[in-house]
Structure 1
Amino acid sequence: MSCNNIHYRAVVIGASAGGLAAVGAILAELKSTFCIPILLAQHISPHVESHLATHFAAKTALAVKEAEDKDPIKRGSLYIAPSNYHLLVGFDGCTALSIDPPVNYSRPSIDVLFESAADYFGNELIGIILSGANSDGAAGLKKIKQRGGLTVVQSLDSAEVKTMPQAAIEAANADHILSLKDIGHFLNTICEC
């Protein structure tokens, strides 16, 4: 899994309002050979059963599943935070679920996922912030940047809701600000398995 002479081991994506379409568009662009694991925190109502795994499985060749506690993070897989749980990367490199209080009014919280992933993967992590209506993810993306990871933010003109990308751009000095249609292509370009 080499990417421009850097060995990236995971991608984390955070999205909120407008995120279903945004994540779907990225997944649809990924080549069938894209095998870096992806972990997704998509804000959803805590009061409804999530069907995100079924929704996204139709758009990608990745193995898609709702994350469970202690899932080994495997190549070629997409792990989705369950409704009303924080998704984290544990110190053992497996997924972890938490019912700790919401962060930025959100559970799952993008910051929680990004910060735990940055602690585990360090400079071998790619963080992506997409459309959304609050500032969740900005602090997490900043931590990824501080740990030497690669940071990507959806461009404001391509975001359905600009608040989250704007906050991330201001907080993290993102390495790349890309239109939605370019993010999947960018991942394919820099990452080969």
Structure 2
Amino acid sequence: MQSGQEEDVQDRWSAVLIASSAGGIQGLGTLLGGLEAALPVPILVAQHLNRARETRIVNILSRSTALTVKLAEDGEEPAPGTVYIAPPDRHLCMRADGSLFLTREERVNYARPAADPLFESAAQVYGKGVIGCVLTGSDSDGARGVEAVKAHGGTVIVQDPGTAEFHGMPKAAVGTGQVDFVLALTDIAPAITRLMQSPP
């Protein structure tokens, strides 16, 4: 039997996960710009980044959204209304206690950070409280993660491949048959807001 605390976690939304790659900075800006600062959950982002140079993603996205945007740090507890970006050359994952951890484990889909480790680890911790989103990208990263989110009862939103700057990632996600919503980019933030208004 679940404890009262575990039941409470399962009766509320816990996190929004976002996967993006090529074209993703602009896509993230649009999505995050449509969300209010009072969002009751954290947002965890795996955007493929160039490991050879310092990233400016925090500064760029902060200009687009009222949410707090930062690079994720190992061991921190994710807070509502905050966007945690996986740093270059690190996978962002979640421990069983809900804290974040960063790892240099092998590349997934030729990428580090990659979406699949994030989606799989968060789904194990938060179950049906997860909303997983796959945006523009030119590979298949996120497809395995989408299957993990659905296997644990979560909700999946995918950018319509026909409207994505690069359709590889959203097309692979849709191809899993495990997607709840396929939406134009500008419709994803309103969909997340509506979902937050009722229990998962």
Same fold, judged at TM 0.5 (above) = yes
> What is the CA–CA distance in structure 2 between the aligned matches of 1:33 and 1:18, rounded to whole Å?
27
Q: What is the root-mean-square deviation in Å for CA atoms of aligned residues?
A: 1.5
Residues 1:169 and 2:180 aligned together: no
The equivalent residue for 2:3 is none
State the Cα distance separating 1:51 from its structure 2 match: 1.3
Q: Is the 8 Å Cα contact of residues 37 and 68 (structure 2) preserved in structure 1? A: no
Q: Is the 8 Å Cα contact of residues 29 and 64 (structure 2) preserved in structure 1? A: yes
> What is the CA–CA distance in structure 2 between the aligned matches of 1:35 and 1:8, rounded to whole Å?
8
Q: Is the 8 Å Cα contact of residues 37 and 81 (structure 2) preserved in structure 1? A: no
Question: Cα gap change, 1:192/1:54 in structure 2, threshold over 3 Å: closer, same or farther?
Answer: farther
The equivalent residue for 1:156 is 161
Residue type of the partner of 1:112?
P
> What is the CA–CA distance in structure 1 between the aligned matches of 2:100 and 2:20, rounded to whole Å?
19
Residues 1:80 and 2:85 aligned together: yes
State the Cα distance separating 1:31 from its structure 2 match: 2.2
State the Cα distance separating 1:6 from its structure 2 match: 5.2
Matches within 5 A, 1:108-123: 108-123=113-128
Deviation per CA, 1:101-156: give whole Å up to 9, x if none: 10110000100110011111111100000000000110001110111000010001
Secondary structure (helix, strand or coil) at the match of 1:7 reads: coil
Deviation per CA, 1:60-114: give whole Å up to 9, x if none: 1211110010011111111000000000011121110001110110000100110
Q: Is the 8 Å Cα contact of residues 146 and 178 (structure 2) preserved in structure 1? A: no
Residue type of the partner of 2:196?
C
Q: Is the 8 Å Cα contact of residues 138 and 172 (structure 1) preserved in structure 2? A: no
Residue type of the partner of 1:8?
W
Matches within 5 A, 1:1-193: 7-192=12-197
TM, length-normalised to structure 2: 0.91
> What is the CA–CA distance in structure 2 between the aligned matches of 1:103 and 1:92, rounded to whole Å?
24
**More displaced 10-residue stretch of structure 1: 156-165 or 52-61:** 52-61
> What is the CA–CA distance in structure 1 between the aligned matches of 2:187 and 2:194, rounded to whole Å?
10
Structure 2: gaps of 5 or more residues: 1-9
> What is the CA–CA distance in structure 2 between the aligned matches of 1:19 and 1:64, rounded to whole Å?
15
Identity %: 39
Structure 1: gaps of 5 or more residues: none
Secondary structure (helix, strand or coil) at the match of 1:65 reads: strand
TM, length-normalised to structure 1: 0.94
